[in-house]
Amino acid sequence: MPIEVLMPALSPTMTEGTIASWHKNEGDPVAIGDVIAEIETDKATMEVEAVEEGTLGRILVPEGTENVAVNTPIALLLEEGEESAALDGAAAAPVASAPPPSAVETQAPTPTVPAAPASGTADDDAAAQAEAAHFADTRTLTVREALRDAMAEEMRRDDSVFVMGEEVAEYQGAYKVTQGLLDEFGARRVIDTPITEHGFAGLGVGASFAGLRPIVEFMTFNFAMQAMDQIINSAAKTLYMAGGQLGAPIVFRGPNGAAARVAAQHSQDYAPWYMSVPGLKVVSPWSAADAKGLLKAAIRDPNPVIFLENEILYGQSFDVPTDEEFVLPIGKAKVERTGGDVTIVAYSIMVGKALEAAETLAEEGIDAEVINLRSLRPLDTATIVRSVQKTNRLVVAEECWPTCGVGAEIAARMMEVAFDHLDSPVHRVSAVDVPLPYAANLEKLALPQPDRIVTAAKAACYRD
């Protein structure tokens, strides 16, 4: 049987084209790679190369023909030893056209956010009890010390864990979070990098492909914007693109959000940016116990984890369980204060401000429940819904900007899954929608403060 040469597609969108010219005549020998014709579309002209060898037996579509559909036979090629008589009857038989259209089959299970259970589960109660049990034996640590201890314990446990970043080793950390690690683990595992975020983020991801477990410290997350491509395109997407064969077990950590008087370029909460990316986990601790239990979980996690710390919290002290196996689950929120009138959801430094607001509200007879999200992706929708079922009112306190922020996401989810339980609109307390100013008074005005949470909670309760 002669081989049919089909009208090729030049691009994913081409459906037809013109045979501009034939470069071979009937009877000419054809070798693989020979240009046999030139075809054109409105966008381009391209040469058609032979992919089989033989003799050009018959030209089916003469040059100058326009609107030739892709996959139409345009010529017949005789294989070695084949007679031209074989051409008769071979032509015109329509070839199997086009691949199976994929659009037909794309009815996939409906996705979107995980549905929230109607009420508390035994699992959640058990998890809360397990966490409480760890607090039987505690000691007081700053957030800074808790983070350091988490890294040190995991580095003792697993030789493939190492920490790299600017000033993490000899300087003992720009914010002293890695203090003492160089002394204990040496320069092989505690690595000072040049100021080269894009490069060392990519290097870290590559090392994690090879099975190491890097902890990459950004001096602050403001500088991680330089590394965004490696975090998103390489770390977050590779597992999926590899069909599950190869992933990036890496932690990117460092202070996030506003510090104090460092102005716009050094003061931004990036939570929503990372939270929107499938393939990442995003964690944002508040207390020292959160910091320790969640960082250990992040280091042990086989996925890329964005670990958003807060510089102002570094020096604050909390009780932390002494048990080295105190590891908190990623994706679970914690109810820090129970109450029945209004739910305040917060993360990172806003948890402290929410608790402060709750005390003020209590004085005014409003009993607020405060949820510390701990993880932003996966987001523990179920815990928020359970609380809203009880209080019917929700305030989200966030340090990010309001547009497309954490609160915007939570408000959308509550509308989807807890609409009937809300007695008032979801209120957001966010950073003001401006770059953060330097002047002390303006900075204070721009950042969400407890009094604004109080005002929002009262509004949610329809109280003055």
Question: Which residues contact another protein by CB under 8 A?
Answer: 6-12, 32-33, 43-46, 48-49, 51, 70-71, 98-100, 102, 105-109, 111, 162, 188, 193-194, 196, 198-212, 229-230, 233-234, 238-247, 278-279, 281, 300-303, 330
Could you identify the residue written with the tokens 């470069």?
A: 23
Which of 32, 10, 33 shows the shortest CA–CA distance to 20? 10
What's the closest the beta carbon of residue 246 comes to another protein, in angstroms? 5
C-beta of 162 vs 175, nearer to another protein: 162
Rounded to whole angstroms, the Cα distance separating 310 from 283 reads 12
C-beta of 75 vs 207, nearer to another protein: 207
For residue 78, what are its two tokens? Answer: 């005789």
Q: Read out DSSP for 219-276?
A: SSGGGGGGGHHIIIIIIITHHHHTTTS-----EEEEE-B--SS--GGG-B--HHHHHT
C-beta of 32 vs 130, nearer to another protein: 32
Rounded to whole angstroms, the Cα distance separating 413 from 114 reads 10
What's the closest the beta carbon of residue 187 comes to another protein, in angstroms? 10
C-beta of 9 vs 225, nearer to another protein: 9
What's the closest the beta carbon of residue 43 comes to another protein, in angstroms? 8
Q: What are phi and psi of 27, to 5 degrees?
A: 95, -15
**Cβ pair 427, 344 in contact under 8 A:** no
Burial class of residue 280, CB neighbours in 10 A (0-12, 13-18, 19+): buried
What's the closest the beta carbon of residue 222 comes to another protein, in angstroms? 18
What's the closest the beta carbon of residue 33 comes to another protein, in angstroms? 7
Rounded to whole angstroms, the Cα distance separating 112 from 100 reads 28
What's the closest the beta carbon of residue 256 comes to another protein, in angstroms? 21
197 labelled catalytic: yes
Q: Which of 197, 369, 399, 409 is catalytic?
A: 197
Burial class of residue 206, CB neighbours in 10 A (0-12, 13-18, 19+): middle
C-beta of 234 vs 256, nearer to another protein: 234
C-beta of 243 vs 365, nearer to another protein: 243
Structural element, H or E, at residue 281: strand 281-283
Q: Which of 167, 266, 324, 356 is catalytic?
A: 266
What's the closest the beta carbon of residue 428 comes to another protein, in angstroms? 28
Structural element, H or E, at residue 320: strand 317-321
266 labelled catalytic: yes
Strand-pair category, 3-6 with 73-78: antiparallel
C-beta of 144 vs 189, nearer to another protein: 189
Q: What are phi and psi of 336, to 5 degrees?
A: -85, -30
Q: Where in the sequence numbering do the catalytic residues fall?
A: 197, 266
